[in-house]
Amino acid sequence: MKRLVLFVIATVIVAISAKAQERPPHEIHSAMLYNFIKYVQWPNEGEAGEFVVGVIGDDNVFNTLKQWYDGKPKGSKKYVIKKLGNPAEAADCQVVYVGKSKNRDFDTIKGSITGKSVLTITDGNGLGQKGSCINFKVVDGKLKFELNQATVGAANLKVSTQLSSMAILI
């Protein structure tokens, strides 16, 4: 009986993993971004207002986030998903996702948020080392993420140990 239960559990896990692999990358990135937010604390967490997630360089991620999360509550705040027209608009966000097509603008984005509590999430080789808080990275064919602890600290954000333990730490 015990073997049967273990077999059923293993089968379910494999099925769930296979289903996740079938999802388009923008849906996976959107779901992961939302989950990252759950494990990060901002200095003004308890204040009412908007919690702005800006997206630049990936319309698919923007559209998915907008459809799934725009207007939903985040504690005493409300999610606002915003498509950024230029790097300077990042300064008005709590989270900024930089898609591959705008990786070249990362330094400008980083400059516009210096001294602000903004969680940057990127999808580009080397952007974790360049100062992104979280950077997606494929390792052995699997999507992983890097966490730049110094950048997170400089942004006055606190990351839970659960998130840190799953990351490639920089």
pLDDT of 13: 41
Residue 8 CB-half CA count within 13 A: 5
pLDDT of 21: 55
CATH number, domain 24-169: 3.40.50.2300
Can you name the residues that pair with 81 across neighbouring β-strands?
Answer: 53
pTM for the structure as a whole: 0.85
Can you name the residues that pair with 49 across neighbouring β-strands?
Answer: 77
| Residue pLDDT tens, the chain, 170 long | 544 433 444 343 434 444 445 789 999 999 999 999 999 999 988 888 999 999 999 999 999 999 999 999 999 999 999 999 999 999 999 999 999 999 999 999 999 999 999 999 999 999 999 999 999 999 998 999 999 999 999 999 999 999 999 999 98
Asked if 135 and 128 count as a contact pair (C-beta separation under 8 A), the reply is: yes
Q: Which residue, 123, 150, 128, 114, is CA-closest to 56? A: 123
Q: Which residue, 51, 54, 55, is CA-closest to 73? A: 51
